[in-house]
Amino acid sequence: MAVAQKKVTAKSPPDFEALFVGCPNPYLALDRDLIIVGVNDAYCKATMTKRQEIVGRHLFDVFPDNPDDLQSNGTSNLHASLIRVLEYGRPDAMAVQKYDIRKPASEGGAFEVRYWSPLNTPVLDENGEVRWIIHYVEDVTEIAQKRAQETEMQEFAREQQRIIKELRTANAELSRYIVGRK
């Protein structure tokens, strides 16, 4: 039994720029030199930035490592991922990254701790060469902080159990000593 197919026609092609800008997921578009060529509203909101202030600038000029965090390695990890995308022409999913974001100057300009789950995807030209990179991020800060709190609580509980065991051992030794002295 054949299913009748409807012919779908459009009066005009979709406005892909409007689709990109309005997409609810945070996206950033980069050229081969890692210059920001596009950013959507969700990315601006997630990173506390403004489109007109970041488009045309180098990614790591806009999003540097937190200078107050000497362990910070977000830029080096992201750079390595982007180089893999350029070199191999295929998506690169990164492990969760601690990558702090600078607050706007109106809010003091300090860095805010953030954790991200990034995916970098190439957009290829007609020759199969990387023309752009689409950088997608998901803010997983709340999840990462909850996991860290759970880990701290587990470590605290283990430490409490160790102390209780030491106290029981000390009490048993003290009891033996007292009985031996009588």
Domain boundaries, the chain: 16-139, 141-182
Which range (2-16, 40-54, 110-124) has the least confidence? 2-16
Confidence label for 64 from pLDDT (cuts 50, 70 and 90): very high
Task: Give the count of beta carbons closer than 10 Å to the beta carbon of residue 59.
Answer: 21
Instruction: HSE, CB side, 13 Å, CA atoms: give it for residue 82.
Output: 24
Task: Give the three-state DSSP class for 144.
Answer: helix
Q: What percent of the chain has pLDDT over 90?
A: 52
Mean pLDDT value of segment 19-23:
90
Domain 16-139: give its CATH code: 3.30.450.20
pLDDT at residue 76 above 90?
yes
Q: Say which range, 30-44, 78-92, 96-110, has the weakest mean pLDDT.
A: 96-110
Residues 112-156 pLDDT 10s: 899 999 999 999 999 999 999 999 999 999 887 787 677 777 787
